[in-house]
Amino acid sequence: MKLPIVDHPTAARPFVTNPKRSQWHDKALWFVRSKRDKQAGGVSEWEHLRELASKIKTHTVANLADYLVQFEQAATRLGATVHWAADAAEHNEIVLKILKRHETLRIVKSKSMLTEECHLNHFLENNGIEVVDTDLGERIVQLRDETPSHIVLPAIHIKKEEVGETFHQHLGTDEGASDPKYLTEAARQHLRNKFLMGEVGITGVNFGIAETGGLVVCTNEGNADLGVSLPKVHIACMGIEKLIPRFQDLSVFTRLLARSATGQPITTYTSHFHGPRDPDSELHIILVDNGRTRLRGNAEFRDSLNCIRCGACMNTCPVYRRSGGHSYHATVPGPIGSVLSPTRDAKSYKSLPYACSLCGSCTDVCPVKIPLHHQLLAWRKELVGRGLLPVSKRVSMRLASMLFQRPRLFAIAGKCGRTALRVLPHWMTHNRLNTWTIARELPNPPRESFREWYGRNRNED
C-alpha cells in the first residue's frame, strides 16, 4: 500500500492554531504524567525494575524464535489454537475465517493497537460483520468515525461536550449533556446489550508467556473480560514482540505498566488466560509479524521492539501534548510512533523524527528504557543519508555548511547580521516570513563577536 506523505507541521496546524484546545490537551496529558511521577517515585526500586524490564525484553527479542516456538507448544498443550500471520492482511483473513466458521455477525472487541495497525475493523465491516469497540474511549472514536489519538487514552483529544453530542446522536442521550458520569452510564447501558449480543470476543494481548503458553490482558473497565467470558470463542491478536519468557517476569511488567501509563499502581483487572474456558470453548491466538522481524534485523532501531505500549512517552512529550495524536497520521503516535512509523515507510513518515525537540523526556520515563530521543536523532541521520530531507532543509543545511567552512565569510555574515538587527525596523525582522519570530523576540545583538573580543584581549601572548 502506498501511503501519502505525512507532513507533521501541516498536520498539526489545525490543533496548534487553536491555542485554547492545544493548552487544554497539554494540561490533560501533563496531569497523567504527574500521576505517573507520583507512582514511580513511590517505588524505591523503580530504576531497578526498568533495568530488569529492559534486559528481559532485549533477551527475548534476541531469542525470539525459540520463545515463539515454546509459546506455541505450551499454548497448544492448553488447548488454544495458535495462528501465524506474516502481515496485516493475513491477520485479518485469519480472523475472518474463524468468524465465518462460526457464522458470526457481531463481535465485541477490547482495545488492541495491533488490530488498529491491521485496520481490522474496516476489513470486517466490509465483510458484513458488526464490530463494536467496547473500551469507552475507543467506542467514542468509533462512533465519531475517527481513530484513537493516543494508545492508552484513545479519546483524549475530544471534549466532553463533543462526547455529549456524539452520544446524543447515537445513543439518544439528552441534548447538551456533558457530565462524564451521565455519559459513562449511558455507554454502560448501550454496551451491556452489545456484550450480551457479541458472538465472538476479540482482545489484544499485553503479555504472552512463553513458559506457560498463557496471555495477560490488562484493562480498567473490565471490557476485555466481559467481552470474552460470555461468548464461546475468544480471539487474541498479539504482536510477536509481546512475548516474555517466564511467568515470574510478569511481576516486573505489571508493576511498571499501569504506573507508567496512567499513574495507577496496577490496572483494575489484570487477567491471565491459560487455554480456552472449557472444552466447548475456543481460544485462538494470532501471532503477527507485520514488519516486526524486519525491525528486529535493524540494529539501530531494534530496541523499539521492547515497547510495552504504556504511552508514557506521549504524555510527557512537549510536541505531542501540544500537537495532538492525530497530527502523526500513524496508529502509534508520539515519540515511539515517530521511531516505529518510519521503519515501516521512511518516505511517508519522514517528517515524524523532526516532531521532536530532542529534550529526552521520553527516554527518561520509558519503563523499558528505549533510548527514544537517540533513536529519533538516528532517524534524522538516516533520512539525510537516504536523501529524504525536504528541499528547504537540504538547501539551508548546505548553505550553513558552506558558511561554517569559511571563517572569513562567517565573520562577515556575523557582522552583517548584528548590524542588520540593530538598524532594521522591527517590522522588517518580525513579520510573517520569519516564522521563528511569531511568538518570540530576537535578542539584542552584541556590539562585537567573541572572535573580535578575543582578538583584542588575548592576542598579546
Partner 1 sequence: MNASTSSRRSMLDRIRTRPLDSNPLPKVDPSRMTTYADPVQQFVETLGTVGGQAHMIDRPEQIGEILNAIEVFAKARRIASLVPEAIQGDLDPSCFDDPHGLASLDWVVARGEFIVAENGAIWVDGGSLPHRVLLFIPQYLALVVSRSQIVNHMHEAYERIGVPTSSFGVFVSGPSKTADIEQSLVLGAHGCRALQVFMLP
84-103: which residues touch partner 1 (CB under 8 A)?
Answer: 84-86, 90, 93-94
DSSP state of 437: G
Question: Residue 100: CB partners within 8 Å, gap ≥ 6?
Answer: none
Which residue, 56 or 366, is less far from partner 1 as judged by CB? 56
Site string for partner 1, 14-43 (x = CB under 8 A): --------------x--xx----------x
**Buried/exposed 19-30: b ≥16 CB within 10 Å, e otherwise:** eebbeebbeebe
Count the site residues for partner 1 by CB under 8 A.
Answer: 94
Which span sits near partner 1 by CB under 8 A: 61-69, 120-128, 370-378, 406-414?
61-69
C-alpha cell read off for 5: 506523505
In the complex, least distance from residue 100 CB atom to partner 1, rounded to whole angstroms? 15
Which residue, 93 or 448, is less far from partner 1 as judged by CB? 93
Which residue, 274 or 380, is less far from partner 1 as judged by CB? 274
In the complex, least distance from residue 84 CB atom to partner 1, rounded to whole angstroms? 4
Q: Specify the residue for cell string 475493523.
A: 121
Applying CB under 8 A, does 272 fall inside the site for partner 1?
yes
Query: 253, 335, 354: which is closest to 29 by C-alpha?
Result: 335
Applying CB under 8 A, does 287 fall inside the site for partner 1?
yes
**Chain mean position to CA 66:** 28
Applying CB under 8 A, does 295 fall inside the site for partner 1?
no
**Chain mean position to CA 452:** 49
Q: How far apart are CA 325 and CA 372, in angstroms?
A: 17
C-alpha cell read off for 213: 503458553
Which residue, 71 or 354, is less far from partner 1 as judged by CB? 71
Query: 221 by DSSP, 3-state: which?
Result: coil
Which span sits near partner 1 by CB under 8 A: 119-127, 169-177, 267-275, 349-357?
267-275
**Chain mean position to CA 191:** 26
Q: How far apart are CA 257 and CA 271, in angstroms?
A: 14
In the complex, least distance from residue 447 CB atom to partner 1, rounded to whole angstroms? 51
Residue 109 class from Cβ within 10 Å (0-12 exposed, 13-18 middle, 19+ buried)? buried
Q: Which residue from 176, 297, 385, 425 is in contact with partner 1, where contact means CB under 8 A?
A: 297
**Buried/exposed 222-251: b ≥16 CB within 10 Å, e otherwise:** ebbbbbbeebebbbbbbbbbbbbbebebbe
Sheet of 233-239, strand order? 81-85, 282-288, 233-239, 200-203, 106-109, 130-133
In the complex, least distance from residue 413 CB atom to partner 1, rounded to whole angstroms? 48
Q: How far apart are CA 114 and CA 85, in angstroms?
A: 12
Site string for partner 1, 214-243 (x = CB under 8 A): x-----xxxx-xx--xx---------x---
Q: What does the chain come to in residues?
A: 461
Q: Which residue from 142, 206, 212, 304 is in contact with partner 1, where contact means CB under 8 A?
A: 212
Helix, strand, coil percentages for the chain (3-state, nearest 5): 55, 10, 35
Site string for partner 1, 432-451 (x = CB under 8 A): --------------------
Applying CB under 8 A, does 372 fall inside the site for partner 1?
no
In the complex, least distance from residue 343 CB atom to partner 1, rounded to whole angstroms? 15
In the complex, least distance from residue 361 CB atom to partner 1, rounded to whole angstroms? 20
Applying CB under 8 A, does 65 fall inside the site for partner 1?
yes
Which span sits near partner 1 by CB under 8 A: 270-278, 335-343, 407-415, 424-432?
270-278
Strands 200-203 and 106-109: parallel
Applying CB under 8 A, does 61 fall inside the site for partner 1?
yes
The angle subtended at Cα 417 by Cα 415 and Cα 418, nearest 5°, is: 65
176-205: which residues touch partner 1 (CB under 8 A)?
Answer: 180-181, 183-185, 188, 191-192, 195-196
Applying CB under 8 A, does 76 fall inside the site for partner 1?
no
Site string for partner 1, 132-151 (x = CB under 8 A): --xxxx--x-----------
In the complex, least distance from residue 350 CB atom to partner 1, rounded to whole angstroms? 25
- Number of Cβ atoms within 10 Å of the Cβ of 350: 23
CB–CB of 201/111 below 8 Å? no
298-317: which residues touch partner 1 (CB under 8 A)?
Answer: 302
In the complex, least distance from residue 412 CB atom to partner 1, rounded to whole angstroms? 52
In the complex, least distance from residue 272 CB atom to partner 1, rounded to whole angstroms? 5
H-assigned helices in 198-302? 223-229, 250-262, 292-296
